[in-house]
Every structure is written in C-alpha cells, then in structure tokens.
A and B are shown apart, each in its own frame.
Chain A
Amino acid sequence: MRITALIISLAPVVALAQSIPSPVPENEVFKREDIGHALAAPTPEAGRTAASAANAPEDDGQWTMPSKNYASTRFSNLKEITPENVKTLKPDFSFSLAVNKGQEAAPIVADNTMYVVTAYPNIVYALDLTKPGAPLKWSFAPKPAPASQGIACCDVVNRGGTVDGGKYIFNTLDGQTIAVDIKTGKPVWRTQLGNINRGETMTMAPTVAQGRVFVGDSGGEMGVHGWAAALDENTGKLLWRAYSTGTDAQVLIGADFKPHYPGDQGKDLGVTTWPAQAWQIGGGAAWGWLTFDAELNALYTGIGNPGPWNQTQRPGDNKWTAGIFARDPASGSAHWFYQYSPHDEHDYDGVNEQILLDMPFAGTMQKVLIHIDRNGYVYVIERKTGTVLSADPYGPVNTSRGIDLQSGRPIINEEKQTKVGETVRNICPTASGAKDWNPSSFSAQTGLLYIPHENMCMDWMSAEVNYIAGTPYVGAQVHMKPGPGGNRGELTAWDPVQRRPAWVVKENFPVWSGTVVTAGDIVFYGTMDGWFKAVHARTGELLWRYKVDSGVIGQPISYKGPDGHQYIAVLSGVGGWSGAVVSGPVDPRDGSAALGMVNVMSDLPKYTTAGGTLYVFSLPH
C-alpha cells in the first residue's frame, strides 16, 4: 500500500520531464590513441612536474585568489585531513547566501576572514573566522542593474573575487569591477566597463598582480565585441583594453607580436578573417580565466567563441576568437596567440583555465601551460613561444581527428561540421565542451591534474539570425545528449607527462564544480545532485561524501583556520548553464531550452532544488 502511494505521488513529477536521450554510441567518437599527438615521446626521467616558486609560493594556509596561486594549481599544502580520517569530516558551520541562483564562486580566505560573492545580485559577505559560527562582519550589496539578468547567457553566475592590498575585488553582472575595503566593507572604487545594451555582462573572477586588476567581459552569445582589460588596483582607472577582434591597434598587436604558427601571422587578421563588419559583433569574450605568470612576466588571456553560433554567417578563421593570447601585463601588447578552434562551429570557447608548470618534455624541463579546452583536448603549450607540445583528447571527440602539430590546427572532421537547415547529429563534444569553465587542480605529489568535466554530445541545426543589439545572437537549434556510456560527467585524473588518464570517476551529471587537491592526497569536488565528495588522489576511491542543500557547481578550497586546523569550504547552489533547468524559470519539456542544455538535463529537477549556501567542513577537534 505504501509503495503504491509513493508511485502515485511521484508520477506527476516524472511526467514533467522528457526522457533523457540515448547516449551516443561508442563507435561515433575517436580513440585517444588514434588522435592524440605530441612532438616527442614522454621523458618522465627528465624531471618532476611542479609549479615554480615564483608562481606557487609556499602555502601560507590562506586562499586569497580563486586559483590559489598564479600557477593555478589549486593545491593546498595542508594534510591534517587524510584518506584515513576524512570519513569523520563534518560540517563546522554553514551560511545562507540568500540567493538561489548558480553559485560558481570560490570562497576567499585572508587574515582570518572569509569573503564570498553570490550570483546576481552579487552580494559580498565577510565572515569572521576567529569567532564561533563565523559571524558576519559586513556585507556589501552593489545593486547591479536588474536588466542585466536578461542578457546573461547561462544563468546569472559569478566566479568569485580576489583579496589583494586590503581590498576585495570582484565583478558585477552589469559590467562593473568593484574594489571593497576589507576592513569596512565600503567600496574604494567602482569602474563601469560593460554596457548591457551591447550585451556585455561580467561573470569572471578578476586576476590581480603587480598593482593591476585583469578582467574580461561575457556575452559571446549576444554579439559583443569581446575584450580583456587592466585596471589600476588603487584607483580603478582603466590602463588598457585589448579587443579580441578588429584591427591590430584595437587588439594591441604591435612589433612584439611573434605568434608561432604561420596562420596567426599577418596584418589586421582580426578584421580580414571575417566578412565585412562581422568582427564588430563577433564575440570573443574573455569571460574565463586570465592567468598572470610571475616568472615570464606575461598574462595569458583565454578568448571565447565567435558569434553567431551559425558559422555560415562568418566565413574565415574569425581571429582572435577561441584561442589564447600571451600579453605584456603592463601595456597589454600581445606576445603570441594560439587558436584552439579556428572558425569555431560548435561553441568551443577557449576560456578554460591555464595551469603553469615546469614539466619534462623531450628530455628537458619545459615551462608549459596546460589548458583543458572545450574542444576536448588537453593542450600542453610551451609558454614562452606558444608552441603546442602535445594535444590529447580527455573526453568524447569526433569534431576533429586530432591536432596537427605542424600547423597547430585541428584536423576537421567534415561529417560533424554544422549546417543551416540540416540537423547534424551526435556531435562530440557538446557546445559546453568536454569541459566548461570549472577549473582543474594539480598536485606535484601525484603529478596528476584533476579535471572535472562532461561527457556529452549534441545535435545541431544552424539558422540565419539577425543582429539586434542587446538580444541574443546565436542562430542554432541545439539538443544535447549523453556521451558514450551514458554517464554525463567525469572526474579524470590526467597524467600530462604520459598523456593519459590515471583513473576516471564516472558521474551521472556533468561535473560542473571545480576541484581542489590537498597534501593529504585528497581531491574534493561536488556534483550537481548535491553531493560534496572526497576521493583518493592516487586511486579515485570515494572516501567521504556529504549531501548539501542543492547541487554544487562552485569552487572548493582548503585553508588553515585561526585555530591551526584544516578546513574545506564550498558553495552549494545549482545553476549555471547546465543547471538552469533548476535555477531558472526553465521548462524541462523544451529540449532546446537553455541553448539545448535542457535536452540532456531535464531530470535534474528530480534530484535537487535551487539553493545557495556556504558550507565549511573540518575534522572533529
């Protein structure tokens, strides 16, 4: 009787959602061994992979920037929590963010205070870690323009702030960069950079170095003229702005520009690789991770997709989108550029994290950046010159047959090129990529990268689209689906030297949280159905998990509290592109909703509801 009642009560909920489409067959994607390439065979004996001291100074137990350090290792040297005792980890305190939208930020810890910025309306909270329960010291409400919610492509997220020089520095959805005095909670300066009537929002986490604040815009689905910029850390004054498309002068390309590949050499390619005027509305938003390199005095800026998604409206390589610049941090002038996806046809933004390491390659130690791209490849790039040393698939790939290391270009699979009026099926990876913005971590103890990612593919039909400023500029009907095997997410421990996974944990939903790895050999990450997990860094074995109030898409951190103990912190609150079916007013019956994501996520409302809570964990003490 009881069972019957349960079935009846569930039935209406189940009827809400479409069924999840069948996974793409295994034989639709290429094998890693067949399409992975490197300039030389692995030479692990040449040295141990690690970040340099300049980019990853000795761990002081704080967590002052989302990436932990300039190398972006997200490695915590704390080891109180071990594989043996982690099963006793328990919540120490929690804090409601009062915003039930996707929470993608990393909590920041500096001087025994924790700082958190929420999704729109981007409220900042400062919590006093020296007192029981971490009471609120202050909060700051920047009151971004409500209309900015209407031009945010993929939920109204914010990826965090940074503490430097006595200020907490973050961006608002309506395009402001704001520095708040961490003592008083009052703004020191606020600079308006984006214009919502041109589709510009800001969601990324600023990078702060050398007295400069590096930021970029969002809006690749709105026909923006994308840019990255530097502000004076003390005044907020704009120091330089580098557009991603346009003339060399607009892109800050000058005499110092020495790209490695011939395809990136020439005058005004940011204009000539587009149809007339199309570059003005061609996207190229720098909405992801800007990485400062203290060793080589460089700034690496990942650039987003070209617009519109309908590629037939923009023949050409569409420079300088879907790639990466190395720039001079002081002037912004470009040193080199590499394009992951020339003439992108699948929304493969190039904005994912850069991890700066010294790594053995071809018998010597090389200064590399490792980038795990939406297009499905782990790139190891020699970062003085922008030369790709190796590129190997880590997720399902059939849009290309590998990266040609002579030209640097993907070897395009014509069968998966997108078309107007015709649905091309089983394109892998999907538009959000084999991995989206959510950052990986790296442990020098294991030599492994911990990559949180997706296993999803899609059907795509392009359509002509009109540009109307302040409205979406997309031109595609997308329906996503699970990749081979049906598990929509994975946590992959990747060996960059041997160019292969060490182990893989399969997840039902895409892994949309970041990862943090500790000296205790534990990797922490969260799932979209609300589990916060600890796995062994050497085996992937599940060691501990805790069910939080809503799905996790934030960036976990590890810090030393005022009492000397190790703490783990993370935000819950599902949303983002993949979670919009829960956090937004989105109907799961329309598979094309949220740019086709709903087709593959329509069951998520059965697993979690919207939320927004800070959780902090520790061992009993």
Chain B
Amino acid sequence: MCSRFLIKLVVGTTIIAQSACNWNPHTGAQPAEQPNRPGVIDSALDPGVDHSLVTTDPRAMAYYDNAEAVNTGKRLFQQYNCSGCHSNGGGGMGPDLMDDVWIYGGRLEQIHQTLVEGRPNGMPSWGGKVPDEQLWQLSVYVRSLSLPQTLAAETDNTPSQAPAPVPREVDQDAGWSPSPNTTNDYTSTIKGAD
C-alpha cells in the first residue's frame, strides 16, 4: 500500500517510506507520545482567570538554544515538503511563518502540537508519520524563522537560510501577547489573525 503512494526517488526518502509503512492507520489514534497531563493550551482565553495560562512541555526544553536541532529542522523542512507550502517562511499554499502572527500559537510546544495534530484549514497531520524528534526539530526551525537574528541573515530575497538557535527566553510568554520589548499596541500583533 505504502509503496504506491510513496515512491522512493532519493535516499533521503527512505525515512519517510519506512515511517509511513510502519504507521498503522487503524491504530493510529495516538499520533505522538503525550505527556501525562492536559495538552498544550492553544487558546489565549482561559475562563475564570484574568490572564492567559502558559503550559510547558518538558520535551521542548532540549530544543532551545540548540543550533544542531534548528539546522536539522531546516533540512527536514525541505525533505517533508513543508517548503512546498510555506516556502522559506513566506508562505504560499500555507501561511507565512516569519512574521508575528500565530494562528495556532507560536510557542515551541504549540507549533509542535500543530504539526502533530494538523489544523482544519489545510495543515496536514504529521503525528505518527514522522519520528517525534523530527517534529520537534521542525518546530524549532519554524520558531526560529521570525527571530530577528534569522531575519537579519536573509540573502538574495530568501530568508531562513541561516536560522538562529531559539533562545529559551523568547517563549516565556503565552505565545499570544506582545513580547515585552514592544509597545502596548495590541493591534500590531493581531493583524491578520483569524
């Protein structure tokens, strides 16, 4: 079955083919390892409290300040055809990933959750089809795309070719509110969100 939909064209494809073939669609309801606690919060609204809650995923910690993970993520971003939709962060078939708008949350845990689960308006679900470590590597590359250091390294109208490692401190907030060093102009961070 898998060979029909997954034709091996380069050596790098082998990983995809194997993971896809090992994945059983009938028992695949548990797409990725889940920590024994409520999932990552993907909303800035928390009824009953007057501030946005932040949940962390301990698995994320290994990928902050990790240059190797970001660079591996950059390679995987091409191999899994993420770039086909999101280009080099500027988007196309899918949304851009290099600005300050995060439809489903911009913290590392939230990006990972989006990759695992997929999203209704066209984002495929990758949980169980790609090793979870690779999903984290992809997530941290995506998180890096909007960092000022990554944007500054743009060459030849093509950003994201030299992605900076993601510092732990950039994800201290909930992924929805303006980062501390900006003005209080909320509209500047919610434009285009839907």
Q: A interface vs B, CB < 8 Å?
A: 18, 21, 146-153, 221, 277-278, 280-281, 313, 463-474, 477, 479, 580, 584-595, 598-599
A479 to B88, CA, bound (A): 12
A151 to B159, CA, bound (A): 23
Nearest CB in chain B: distance from A456 CB, A: 15
- Chain B: CB-nearest residue to A472: B84
* A150-B121, A464-B12, A585-B101 known, 4 other contacts, Cβ within 8 Å: A150-B93, A150-B94, A587-B96, A590-B159
Residues in B with CB closer than 8 Å to A153 are: 92-93
Is B6 in contact with A592, judged by CB distance below 8 angstroms? no
Residues in A with CB closer than 8 Å to B158 are: 477, 479, 590-592
Is B85 in contact with A150, judged by CB distance below 8 angstroms? yes
Which of B7, B98, B122 contacts A150, CB < 8 Å?
B122
Nearest CB in chain B: distance from A591 CB, A: 3
Is B98 in contact with A587, judged by CB distance below 8 angstroms? yes
Nearest CB in chain B: distance from A483 CB, A: 18
Nearest CB in chain B: distance from A574 CB, A: 15
In the assembled complex, 19 residue pairs joining A and B whose CB atoms fall closer than 8 Å, in A order, are A149-B121, A221-B84, A281-B7, A464-B12, A466-B79, A471-B80, A473-B81, A473-B84, A479-B157, A580-B92, A585-B192, A587-B99, A590-B158, A591-B156, A592-B90, A593-B87, A593-B90, A595-B92, A598-B90
A147 to B101, CA, bound (A): 20
Which of A18, A146, A281, A594 contacts B120, CB < 8 Å?
A146
Is B81 in contact with A584, judged by CB distance below 8 angstroms? no
Residues in A with CB closer than 8 Å to B124 are: 150, 470-471
B31 at interface by CB-CB < 8 Å: no
Query: Contacts A466-B16, A584-B92; is A147 near B81 (CB within 8 Å)?
Result: no
Near A by CB (< 8 A), chain B positions 145-182 give 151, 154, 156-160
B89 at interface by CB-CB < 8 Å: yes
Query: Contacts A149-B121, A470-B124, A585-B192; is A590 near B79 (CB within 8 Å)?
Result: no
CB within 8 Å: A-B pair count = 137
- Chain A: CB-nearest residue to B194: A585
A167 to B137, CA, bound (A): 52
Is A589 in contact with B84, judged by CB distance below 8 angstroms? no
Residues in B with CB closer than 8 Å to A313 are: 9
Residues in B with CB closer than 8 Å to A463 are: 78
Nearest CB in chain B: distance from A176 CB, A: 17
The 10 closest A-B pairs by CB, nearest first: A150-B122, A590-B90, A472-B84, A593-B90, A591-B157, A585-B95, A587-B96, A471-B81, A594-B92, A593-B87
A587 to B160, CA, bound (A): 13
Residues in A with CB closer than 8 Å to B44 are: none
Query: Contacts A18-B157, A466-B79, A591-B157; is A586 near B123 (CB within 8 Å)?
Result: no
B13 at interface by CB-CB < 8 Å: yes
Is A590 in contact with B91, judged by CB distance below 8 angstroms? yes
B62 at interface by CB-CB < 8 Å: no
Nearest CB in chain B: distance from A478 CB, A: 10
- Chain B: CB-nearest residue to A198: B5
Which of A152, A464, A468, A585 contacts B96, CB < 8 Å?
A585
A3 to B135, CA, bound (A): 50
- Chain A: CB-nearest residue to B97: A587
Near A by CB (< 8 A), chain B positions 112-145 give 120-124
Grouping DSSP codes into helix (H, G, I), strand (E, B) and loop, the B interface class, with mixed when no group exceeds half, is: loop
Is B192 in contact with A590, judged by CB distance below 8 angstroms? no
Residues in B with CB closer than 8 Å to A598 are: 87, 90, 92
- Chain A: CB-nearest residue to B78: A463
Residues in B with CB closer than 8 Å to A151 are: 93, 122
B49 at interface by CB-CB < 8 Å: no
Is B81 in contact with A472, judged by CB distance below 8 angstroms? yes
Is B122 in contact with A147, judged by CB distance below 8 angstroms? yes
Residues in A with CB closer than 8 Å to B192 are: 585
Is A592 in contact with B88, judged by CB distance below 8 angstroms? yes
B10 at interface by CB-CB < 8 Å: yes
Nearest CB in chain B: distance from A532 CB, A: 27
Interface centre among B10, B91, B98 (most CB of A within 10 A): B91
Which of B13, B88, B121 contacts A593, CB < 8 Å?
B88
Near A by CB (< 8 A), chain B positions 60-119 give 78-81, 84-85, 87-96, 98-99, 101, 103
Is A468 in contact with B93, judged by CB distance below 8 angstroms? no
Interface centre among B93, B96, B158 (most CB of A within 10 A): B93
Residues in B with CB closer than 8 Å to A470 are: 124
Is B13 in contact with A466, judged by CB distance below 8 angstroms? yes
Interface centre among A153, A466, A479, A598 (most CB of B within 10 A): A466
Is B121 in contact with A147, judged by CB distance below 8 angstroms? yes
Nearest CB in chain B: distance from A341 CB, A: 22
Query: Contacts A468-B81, A473-B81, A587-B90; is A146 near B7 (CB within 8 Å)?
Result: no
Nearest CB in chain B: distance from A58 CB, A: 44
Residues in A with CB closer than 8 Å to B121 are: 146-147, 149-150
- Chain A: CB-nearest residue to B158: A592
Residues in A with CB closer than 8 Å to B13 are: 466-467
Nearest CB in chain A: distance from B53 CB, A: 26
- Chain B: CB-nearest residue to A459: B156
Residues in A with CB closer than 8 Å to B7 are: 277-278, 280-281, 467
Nearest CB in chain A: distance from B108 CB, A: 20
- Chain A: CB-nearest residue to B94: A150
Is B89 in contact with A587, judged by CB distance below 8 angstroms? yes
Residues in A with CB closer than 8 Å to B99 are: 587
Is B98 in contact with A589, judged by CB distance below 8 angstroms? yes
Which of A467, A468, A585 contacts B91, CB < 8 Å?
A585
- Chain A: CB-nearest residue to B160: A590
- Chain A: CB-nearest residue to B12: A466
Query: Contacts A466-B9, A467-B9, A592-B90; is A584 near B95 (CB within 8 Å)?
Result: yes
Is A590 in contact with B87, judged by CB distance below 8 angstroms? yes
A148 to B94, CA, bound (A): 11
Interface centre among B12, B87, B154 (most CB of A within 10 A): B87
Is B81 in contact with A588, judged by CB distance below 8 angstroms? no
A411 to B121, CA, bound (A): 43
Nearest CB in chain A: distance from B90 CB, A: 2
A467 to B6, CA, bound (A): 6
Residues in B with CB closer than 8 Å to A471 are: 80-81, 84-85, 124
Q: Give a binary string over B1-39; 1 marks a CB under 8 Å from any A CB, 0 the rest.
A: 000011101101100100000000000000000000000
Residues in A with CB closer than 8 Å to B94 are: 150
A472 to B16, CA, bound (A): 15
Is A466 in contact with B157, judged by CB distance below 8 angstroms? no
A463 to B156, CA, bound (A): 17
Is B84 in contact with A474, judged by CB distance below 8 angstroms? yes
Nearest CB in chain A: distance from B148 CB, A: 12
- Chain A: CB-nearest residue to B87: A593
A147 to B118, CA, bound (A): 10
Residues in A with CB closer than 8 Å to B16 are: 466, 468
Residues in A with CB closer than 8 Å to B159 are: 589-590
